[in-house]
């Protein structure tokens, strides 16, 4: 680790570096390594796309700032939601989220004077996947940004300190730098966030409902000591209403699906047999506390063929 820091120090000298933080393990460890090497020459940008978990933007920002990182939070929620209005196709939603992210990031990176480098938390499996699928990460960015040429930050030199590491090695590097288990043990979370867990079109109200449901599920997993035994967990808001009864009233409200999987790399996954009393309590909590939801189901499908995300 010390030799990596020394190498980065020598490579970057007194140059400025910009990095997009996602709150995930990879970009966090990359940021800490670079921070060790070049301190405040590292400028981190954390964009709120409005599709993060409940309170995640504020909590993650506070956590990073508390650790001395030079990080700017940009709340672009309204811009993302506006761009997504009325769109229900999963791939189109991904493209819109990717495009708006690039626009927001580019605007922010341009505010930093004399920046020379773009840092990325790319890890080895990302390199393999993107080479075989799309011809490299820049191809993905380019396909998102097909009007008006390349964004300015794409003209920067690229530094990827984790490029040769697998996920467990990234976690080990983070641990050796004294990063908290809370950051290092975080479940993977997709870039498009809740945008691909709200099936169909996205509205602010649907985001609010799903954030509440997700928070009850994830906090419950933590309280019951189950979180660290699971690769990834989350909730999906389904595009169906179903009938329920509440006192003498008939309701016609939303259904949510909970999913928790075990995996080593996300390529294959098995559903987790969560304790029934946990599922029972979580379901009751969700239905009692989240207005607009009257039914909870648990996903018992493994991958393949059922992908981890529903979209
Ligand atoms: P699937 O749903 O393909 O997911 O079984 C495998 C892993 O990839 C994550 N995932 C994404 N991550 N952008 C991302 O950054 C995406 O569009 C995306 N789609 C899926 C998923 O959360 C799981 O960890």
Q: pLDDT tens-digit profile of 72-95?
A: 999 999 999 999 999 999 999 999
Closest to 122 measured CA to CA, from 73, 164, 82, 75: 164
Q: Which residues are CB-contacts of 273 (< 8 A; sequence separation ≥ 6)?
A: none
Between the alpha carbon of residue 161 and those of residues 27, 30, 89, 91, 111, the distances in Å are 10, 6, 35, 30, 24
Pocket lining: 268 vs ligand 1, CB cutoff 6 Å:
no
Residue 49 Cβ contacting ligand 1 at under 6 Å: no
Identify the residue whose C-alpha is closest to ligand 1 atom 12.
190
pLDDT of residue 33: 96
84 CB-side CA count, 13 A: 33
Pocket test for ligand 1, best of 122, 190, 235, 260 (most atoms within 8 A of CB): 190
Q: Set out the domains of the chain in order of their start, with CATH numbers.
A: 2-184 (3.40.50.620), 197-298 (3.30.300.10)
308 C-beta closer than 6 A to ligand 1: yes
- Average pLDDT, whole number, for the chain? 92
Map residue 260 onto helix, strand or coil.
strand
Share of the chain above pLDDT 70, in %: 93
Q: Is the CB of 97 under 6 A from ligand 1?
A: no
Any idea which residue has 């909870």 for tokens? Answer: 296
CA dihedral 30, 34, 37, 39 (to 10 degrees): -140
* DSSP annotation string for 118-147: EE----HHHHHHHHHHTSSHHHHHHHH--S
Under a CB-based contact definition with an 8 Å cutoff, are residues 51 and 204 in contact? Answer: no
- Verify whether ligand 1 is closer than 6 Å to residue 137 (CB atom): no
| Backbone phi, psi, residue 33, to 5° | -60, -45
pLDDT of residue 44: 97
How much is the pLDDT for 144? 45
d(CA 92, CA 48): 19
CA of 190 to the centre of ligand 1 (A): 5
Ligand 1 neighbourhood includes 161 CB (under 6 angstroms): no
- Phi and psi torsions of 38, nearest 5°: -130, 5
- Ligand 1 atom at minimal distance to the Cα of residue 303: 5
pLDDT, tens digit, 9 for 90 and up, residues 18-54: 999 998 999 999 999 999 999 999 999 999 999 999 9
pTM here?
A: 0.92
CA–CA distance, 287 with 127 (Å, rounded to integer): 42
What mean pLDDT do residues 15-19 have? 97
> Residue 154 has which token pair?
């794409």
Query: Which of 121, 199, 270, 309 to mutate to test ligand 1, by most ligand atoms within 8 A of the CB atom?
Result: 309
- Beta-carbon neighbour count of residue 222 at 10 Å? 11
Is 22 strand, coil or helix?
coil
Can you tell me the mean pLDDT for 214-219? 98
Ligand 1 within 6 A of 307 CB? Answer: yes
Cis peptide bond upstream of 110, omega within 30: no
Q: Which of 11-15, 63-67, 251-255, 297-301 has the lowest mean pLDDT?
A: 63-67
Indicate if ligand 1 lies below 6 Å from the C-beta of 94.
yes
């Amino acid at each position: 680790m010390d030799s990596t820091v020394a190498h980065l120090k020598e490579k970057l000298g007194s140059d400025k570096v910009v990095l997009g933080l996602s709150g995930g393990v990879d970009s966090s460890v990359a940021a800490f390594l670079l921070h060790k090497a070049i301190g405040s020459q590292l400028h981190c940008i954390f964009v709120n796309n409005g599709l993060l978990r409940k309170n995640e933007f504020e909590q993650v920002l506070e956590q990073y700032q508390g650790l001395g990182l030079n990080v700017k939070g940009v709340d672009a929620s309204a811009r993302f939601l506006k761009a997504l209005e009325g769109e229900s196709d999963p791939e189109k939603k991904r493209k819109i989220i990717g495009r708006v992210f690039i626009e927001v990031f580019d605007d922010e990176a341009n505010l930093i004077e004399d920046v020379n480098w773009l840092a990325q938390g790319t890890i080895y499996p990302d390199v393999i996947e993107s080479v075989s699928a799309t011809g490299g990460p820049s191809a993905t960015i380019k396909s998102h940004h097909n009007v008006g040429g390349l964004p300015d930050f794409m003209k920067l030199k690229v530094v990827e300190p984790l490029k040769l590491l697998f996920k467990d090695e990234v976690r080990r590097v983070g641990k050796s730098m004294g990063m908290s288990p809370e950051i290092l043990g975080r479940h993977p979370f997709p870039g498009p966030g809740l945008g691909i867990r709200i099936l169909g079109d996205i509205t602010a109200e649907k985001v609010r409902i799903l954030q509440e449901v997700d928070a009850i599920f994830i906090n419950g997993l933590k309280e019951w000591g189950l979180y660290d035994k699971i690769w990834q967990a989350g909730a999906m808001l389904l595009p169906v209403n179903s009938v329920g009864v509440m006192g003498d009233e008939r309701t016609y409200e939303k259904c949510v699906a909970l999913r928790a999987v075990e995996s080593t790399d996300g390529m294959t996954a098995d559903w987790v047999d969560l304790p029934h009393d946990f599922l029972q309590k979580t379901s009751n909590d969700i239905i009692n506390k989240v207005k607009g939801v009257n039914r909870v189901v648990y996903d018992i499908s493994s991958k393949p063929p059922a992908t981890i995300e529903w979209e």
